[in-house]
Amino acid sequence: TREIAVASLPEGALSQDHFTVREVDLVPPGPGEVMLRTVLISIDAAARAWMQGATYRAPVRAGDAMPCFALCEVVESNAPDLAKGDLVAGESVWADYANVPARQVQKLPDIRPLTHHLSVYGIAGKTAFHGLVGVGRPIAGETVLVSAAAGAVGAYVGQIARALGCRVVGIAGGAEKCAFVTGELGFDACVDYRDPKMFKALRAACPDGVDVYFDNVGGAVLEAALFAMNERGRVICCGAISQYDSAAASGPRNLPGLVVVKRLRMEGFIVTDFAHQDATAERALRTWVAKGQIKVIEDVIDGLENTPAALIGLLAGENRGKRMVRVGPD
Ligand code: NDP
């Protein structure tokens, strides 16, 4: 079977040279393991952060098969609660087939299209829901600002906030993406963070200030957002994509001053912290999708061999909505 491994760890920007494709022999799964056939690989910005060292999971090392979240079919099982033909999602690696401990994966209902299990009802939708509702707690009428607004998590954050009756402003890279965010996703406004006048544009887009900022990027964008926050605003720290793919980390320069003066609450979270609320999130998301209040935007790339390029491209802002790689048929 084919497997894509980390050839060397990146110090600056991630490139194809950091990966290598290798053939490995398929062996029967060990005790408690299942053999999986990969159907869809989730492409997550966090994968680049795992290559920087320890995060909320063990660091990725050179020589490792590249870890990922994936949707797979069980082809052989040595675990009592999983059988051949079951659909599962969980931690696997960039490969056509892989043996993993059964406890690493969860059985999924066979609801189609399968891509929705990785997008709106998967990590992206759940991260958006739990972060916004569980941590940010927006109230109807408030202004919600979200960065990486055209991306997987950001697109759901904004659409959920609109469904909750908030005014929603996005931040994204480039005029075309901003037009997508307001046109296709229905945000009230969107600011281009590459515009040298971003600061002013943000003020103009948020005439009543910002009550809740959902931060996917950190760095200079977070710095600008902190200036736009209202008193007692909430900053949801979801990720820091501006700092994953470069050696130079630049943090906001107005911390903790503005947090003190404006009585801000800044709180980080990891989607699994809210696993006990997953059923609530999924119910709410299904209702909004059924009512047409949430559009499911997906960006599916074909072929395992294209997985490195898919991740590199995500970090460069190529994607709209949830990016994933289709490795095999449903
Ligand atoms: P996205 O689909 O949002 O794709 C990433 C987007 O980030 C790109 O499309 C790009 O859009 C934007 N981006 C890239 N570089 C920069 C930069 N330097 N400054 C500003 N924006 C940039 O990816 P994900 O949905 O996988 O991840 C979004 C965020 O959510 C990440 O920070 C990730 O770590 C976090 N996350 C956190 C979880 C948690 O449990 N806390 C769980 C899942 C994700 P553009 O063209 O606009 O630049």
Ligand 1 binding pocket includes 271 (Cβ within 6 Å): yes
Distance 151 CA to ligand 1 centre (A): 6
User: What would the two tokens of residue 149 be?
Assistant: 């607004």
| Range 180-219 burial, b when 16+ CB lie within 10 A, else e | bbbeebebbbbbbbeeeebeebbeebbeebbbbbbbbbbb
Stated pTM of the model: 0.97
Ligand 1 binding pocket includes 185 (Cβ within 6 Å): no
Distance 79 CA to ligand 1 centre (A): 35
Residue range 194-208, pLDDT digits in tens: 999 999 999 999 999
Ligand 1 binding pocket includes 319 (Cβ within 6 Å): yes
Residue 187 — pLDDT band, cuts 50, 70, 90? very high
Please say if the pLDDT value at position 306 is more than 90.
Answer: yes
The DSSP code sequence of 77-113 is E-STT--TT-EEEEEEESBSEEEEEGGGEEE---PSP
Report all structural domains of the chain as residue ranges with CATH numbers, in order of start. 2-119+297-326 (3.90.180.10), 123-274+282-288 (3.40.50.720)
Residue nearest to atom 8 of ligand 1 (CA): 317
Distance (Å, whole) CA 3 – CA 11? 23
Q: What's the pLDDT score for residue 54?
A: 77
DSSP conformation class of 133: I
Q: What's the pLDDT score for residue 53?
A: 84
Specify the amino acid at residue 245.
Answer: D
Residue 273 — pLDDT band, cuts 50, 70, 90? very high
Distance (Å, whole) CA 41 – CA 165? 34
Ligand 1 binding pocket includes 154 (Cβ within 6 Å): yes
Ligand 1 binding pocket includes 127 (Cβ within 6 Å): yes
Distance (Å, whole) CA 169 – CA 198? 13
Mean pLDDT of the chain: 96
Phi/psi-derived region of residue 272, left when phi > 0, alpha when psi is between -120 and 50, beta in every other case: alpha
At 127, is the secondary structure helix, strand, or coil?
helix
Ligand 1, closest atom to CA 46?
Answer: 34
Residue range 88-115, pLDDT digits in tens: 999 999 999 999 999 999 999 989 999 9
End-to-end distance of the chain based on CA atoms, in angstroms? 18
Q: What's the pLDDT score for residue 9?
A: 96
**In 3D, which of 39, 56, 37 has the Cα closest to residue 47?**
56
User: What would the two tokens of residue 184 be?
Assistant: 């296709």
User: Is 181 in contact with 156 (CB distance < 8 Å)?
Assistant: no
Distance 85 CA to ligand 1 centre (A): 33
Residue nearest to atom 39 of ligand 1 (CA): 270
Cα distances from 119 to residues 154, 230, 291, in angstroms, run 12, 32, 17
Q: What's the pLDDT score for residue 57?
A: 84
DSSP conformation class of 178: H
Residues 6+ apart with CB under 8 A from 143: 166, 167, 168, 169, 206, 208, 209, 210, 211, 212, 230
Residue range 211-260, pLDDT digits in tens: 999 999 999 999 999 999 999 999 999 999 999 987 776 789 989 999 99
Supply angle C-alpha 60, 65, 70, rounded to 5.
Answer: 95
